[in-house]
């Protein structure tokens, strides 16, 4: 048997990096922003305790989607919020 890290390195060297064009960079940013927004939405549902008292999170998905929402609904909400924020930033950028 050979060194596993060397074998992995050799295999990774054979894979060329994908070309980075403007559309791919935009998709990458949107994906990262969507994942960040999904994390924010999930964190808003967290329950904390302070001095033994339960503190409920604001639960943004429940407030916006209502009871009975699914995981797919939360993904769509996160994506929609990212696109809305991107559109708003582009409008502000154009007005300056």
Could you report the per-residue pLDDT of 44-88, keeping only the tens digit for each?
Answer: 999 989 999 999 889 999 999 999 999 999 999 999 999 999 888
Domain-wise residue ranges, the chain: 19-95
C-alpha dist (Å) from residue 8 to 1, 2, 15, 17, 62: 13, 11, 11, 16, 45
**Residue 60 has what pLDDT?**
92
CB 49 within 8 A of CB 55: yes
- Nearest C-alpha neighbor of 76 from the set 65, 89, 90: 65
pLDDT band at 93 (very low <50, low <70, confident <90, very high): very low
Q: Is the pLDDT of residue 6 over 60?
A: yes
Q: Is the pLDDT of residue 95 over 80?
A: no
Is the pTM higher than 0.75? no
Task: State how far the Cα of 44 lies from the Cα of 4, in Å rounded to an integer.
Answer: 42
Q: What is the mean pLDDT of the chain?
A: 85
Q: Is the pLDDT of residue 91 over 60?
A: no
Task: State how far the Cα of 29 lies from the Cα of 35, in Å rounded to an integer.
Answer: 10
Q: Is the pLDDT of residue 92 over 60?
A: no
């Amino acid at each position: 048997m050979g060194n596993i890290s060397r074998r992995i390195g050799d295999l990774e060297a054979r894979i060329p990096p994908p070309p980075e064009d403007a559309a791919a960079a935009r998709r990458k940013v949107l994906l990262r922003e969507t994942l960040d927004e999904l994390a924010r939405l999930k964190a808003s549902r967290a329950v904390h305790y302070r001095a033994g008292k339960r503190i409920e999170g604001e639960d943004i998905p429940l407030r916006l989607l209502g009871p009975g929402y699914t995981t797919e609904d939360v993904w769509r909400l996160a994506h929609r919020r990212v696109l809305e924020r991107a559109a708003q930033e582009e409008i502000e950028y154009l007005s300056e």
